[in-house]
Amino acid sequence: MKIRGSHQLCHLLSLFVLVQVFEGDCHRFGYTQAEQRRWSRKHGTCSGKYQSPIAINSRRAFHLPMPALELVGYHNLLPGPILIHNNGHSVSLTIPKPTSVQLEQGIKHPYIFGGKLKSEYELEGLHFHWGDKNNRGAEHVLNDIRYPMEMHIIHRNRKYKDVAEALNYGDGLTVLGFFYQIQEHDGGELATIVRNLSPVSDFDRTYSLNFTFSLSSLISTVDTELFYTYKGSLTTPPCSEAVTWILFPDPLPVSVSQMNKFRHLSNGIEGSVLVDNYRALQPLGNRRVFVRKVNERNTHLNTIDKNLHYNKWDWLY
């Protein structure tokens, strides 16, 4: 089922993609260097001290024996209908909350806790950032590598009623970031989404999937025991400094053919395609990036201070 974008639908879907939700229509912004410099003119937060994305160096990360990240409900089929949307900045998937009937059937909405998180965070949606070439596209850089694509799975702190409220607090959101690396064959994890990109090839198109899937099927090859985490912001206007980032170094597979499906989407400007939708790297400043200590197999990571206390997370932010 194809849906033409109305103002109401545009406003709703932009909430899940984490772009400006406080205007009556979808907020448009660009990704060229000049356009990104203009973000802070309209949104002062975009020039803040705790902005994202950043470059991560494993040897400079603080190595901590923090708890595992618990992905509750990630193996369950998501409640439908799942909507896929091209908003001109990205491709997003929105997942509805379970109905009362579904709740009675034991279907629960996915949520996460653990790591450095002090609350439970409930799933809101997911979206992608990608490049025109295979040497760029991901927003974060890991050990001087910029992957061709990055997926963000957004979660809201359960103590806030919606994303708009959560953006006002430093612990409002948690975003899980996953990298993609080019391989010869199609990535099976991504196939579910790629084969449904053509109905949203035009700007402001929405398509209702006639099937469902689990979040775990999208990340089945990732070792979620190992991750980096830091305090940061949205990577789109209004750049609210409300995000705890959790990034997994194990890349997911994607083929050139699959990448080209993303690269042929329209960004709403005549004759232009949606590519290079990633923000420039931001200064780390006095923040610290933490990496979870799992076992001795991770000894290649530089342990800066084995006795670093968890409370330092708060006063370094």
Q: Of 26-35, 57-66, 150-159, 230-239, where does mean pLDDT reach its minimum?
A: 26-35
Looking at the DSSP bridge assignments, the partners of residue 182 are 254
Per-residue model confidence (pLDDT) at position 18: 45
Summarised one tens digit per residue, pLDDT across range 208-220 is: 999 999 999 999 9
- Sign, CA dihedral 76-82-87-91, equals positive
Q: How far is CA 235 from CA 92, 203, 217, 251, in A?
A: 15, 21, 25, 20
The full length of the chain comes to 317
Percentage of the residues of the chain whose pLDDT score is greater than 70: 84
Summarised one tens digit per residue, pLDDT across range 218-276 is: 999 999 999 999 999 999 999 999 999 999 999 999 999 999 999 999 999 888 999 99
Summarised one tens digit per residue, pLDDT across range 113-149 is: 999 999 999 999 999 999 999 999 999 999 999 999 9
Amino acid at 51: Q
Per-residue model confidence (pLDDT) at position 295: 67
Residue of 11, 63, 85, 89 marked catalytic: 89
Summarised one tens digit per residue, pLDDT across range 148-186 is: 999 999 999 999 999 999 999 999 999 999 999 999 999
Q: Please classify residue 53 by burial: count the beta carbons closer than 10 Å to its beta carbon, then call 0-12 exposed, 13-18 middle and 19+ buried.
A: buried
Residue 51 has pLDDT above 80, yes or no: yes
Residue 11 has pLDDT above 90, yes or no: no
Contact 182, 254 (CB under 8 A): yes
Per-residue model confidence (pLDDT) at position 9: 39
- Sign, CA dihedral 126-132-137-142, equals positive
Per-residue model confidence (pLDDT) at position 99: 83
Residue 20 has pLDDT above 80, yes or no: no
27 is annotated as an active-site residue? no
How would residue 2 be classed by pLDDT, with cut points 50, 70 and 90? very low
Per-residue model confidence (pLDDT) at position 27: 60
Q: Please classify residue 245 by burial: count the beta carbons closer than 10 Å to its beta carbon, then call 0-12 exposed, 13-18 middle and 19+ buried.
A: buried
Q: DSSP alpha helices (H): ranges in the chain?
A: 7-17, 33-42, 100-104, 163-166, 188-194, 256-263, 312-315
Per-residue model confidence (pLDDT) at position 100: 83
Per-residue model confidence (pLDDT) at position 98: 85
3-state secondary structure of 155: strand
How would residue 6 be classed by pLDDT, with cut points 50, 70 and 90? very low
Q: How far is CA 223 from CA 128, 143, 236, 243, 246, in A?
A: 20, 18, 28, 22, 13
Question: Which pTM was predicted?
Answer: 0.87
Residue 61 has pLDDT above 80, yes or no: yes
What is the mean predicted confidence (pLDDT) over 68-88? 94
Percentage of the residues of the chain whose pLDDT score is greater than 90: 77
Looking at the DSSP bridge assignments, the partners of residue 72 are 111
- Tell me the pLDDT of the chain averaged across its residues: 86
Per-residue model confidence (pLDDT) at position 19: 39
Per-residue model confidence (pLDDT) at position 105: 76
Collect contacts of 30-37 with beta carbons under 8 A, ≥24 apart. Answer: 31/89, 31/276, 31/277, 31/278, 31/279, 33/280, 36/279, 36/280
